[in-house]
């Protein structure tokens, strides 16, 4: 539970990073709160399975929102790169510095989305692995060859 709260707080902090970097792409996607593996203890196998399945759907929705967010950011980066080349051609040092900062902010947010998605995926995999220590349903926990 505490891990989920910390993750949510960290993601809110990321969302507060320069809004100009995300710009037209909207707010940074916020990952779902994945239950900790220890949350499964004391629950029935069926209840744990339902929790894992719900977390799976939340993770997939989060990944889809990240994919479209990053695609938008890549388009914005392309536009900023073109604007940077134009500003450099004009010799406008102030505009060059501004665009370079915008690109730097954009890259920081982009990287943070990757870091957050990796963390969410790791938490989900930990949850699923914990469930698979007690679940024999091959749909949920296929046996390894």
Residue-range domain boundaries for the chain: 44-135
For residue 54, give the nearest of 28, 33, 30 by alpha carbon.
33
Is the predicted pLDDT of residue 94 greater than 50, yes or no?
yes
Helical segments of the chain, H only: 2-15, 19-22, 45-90, 93-132
Is the predicted pLDDT of residue 17 greater than 80, yes or no?
no
Per-residue confidence (pLDDT) for residue 24, from 0 to 100: 84
Is the predicted pLDDT of residue 21 greater than 80, yes or no?
no
Is the predicted pLDDT of residue 140 greater than 80, yes or no?
no
* Mean pLDDT, residues 12-27 taken together: 55
Per-residue pLDDT of 105-124, as tens digits, reads 999 999 999 999 999 999 99
Is the predicted pLDDT of residue 5 greater than 70, yes or no?
no
Per-residue pLDDT of 39-93, as tens digits, reads 888 889 999 999 999 999 999 999 999 999 999 999 999 999 999 999 999 999 9
For residue 109, give the nearest of 117, 98, 120 by alpha carbon.
117
Is the predicted pLDDT of residue 18 greater than 80, yes or no?
no
Tell me how far apart the alpha carbons of residues 59 and 38 are, in angstroms, rounded to a whole number.
Answer: 19
User: Which residues are CB-neighbours of 55 under 8 A, at least 6 positions away?
Assistant: 32, 34, 35, 124, 127
Per-residue confidence (pLDDT) for residue 144, from 0 to 100: 61
3-state secondary structure of 79: helix
* Mean pLDDT, residues 123-137 taken together: 91
> 109, 28 in Cβ contact below 8 A?
yes
Tell me how far apart the alpha carbons of residues 72 and 28 are, in angstroms, rounded to a whole number.
Answer: 11
Tell me how far apart the alpha carbons of residues 49 and 134 are, in angstroms, rounded to a whole number.
Answer: 10
Q: Model pTM? A: 0.76
């Amino acid at each position: 539970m505490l891990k989920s709260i910390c993750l949510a707080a960290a993601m809110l902090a990321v969302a507060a990073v320069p809004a100009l970097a995300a710009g037209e792409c909207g707010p940074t996607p916020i990952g779902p709160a994945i239950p900790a593996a220890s949350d499964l203890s004391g629950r029935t196998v069926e209840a744990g399975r339902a929790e894992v399945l719900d977390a799976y759907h939340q993770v997939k929705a989060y990944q889809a929102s990240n994919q479209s967010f990053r695609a938008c950011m890549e388009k914005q980066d392309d536009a900023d790169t073109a604007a940077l080349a134009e500003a450099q051609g004009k010799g406008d040092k102030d505009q060059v510095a501004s665009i370079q900062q915008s690109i730097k902010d954009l890259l920081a947010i982009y990287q943070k989305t990757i870091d957050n998605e990796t963390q969410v995926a790791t938490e989900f995999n930990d949850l699923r692995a914990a469930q698979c220590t007690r679940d024999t349903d091959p749909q949920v926990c296929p046996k390894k060859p």
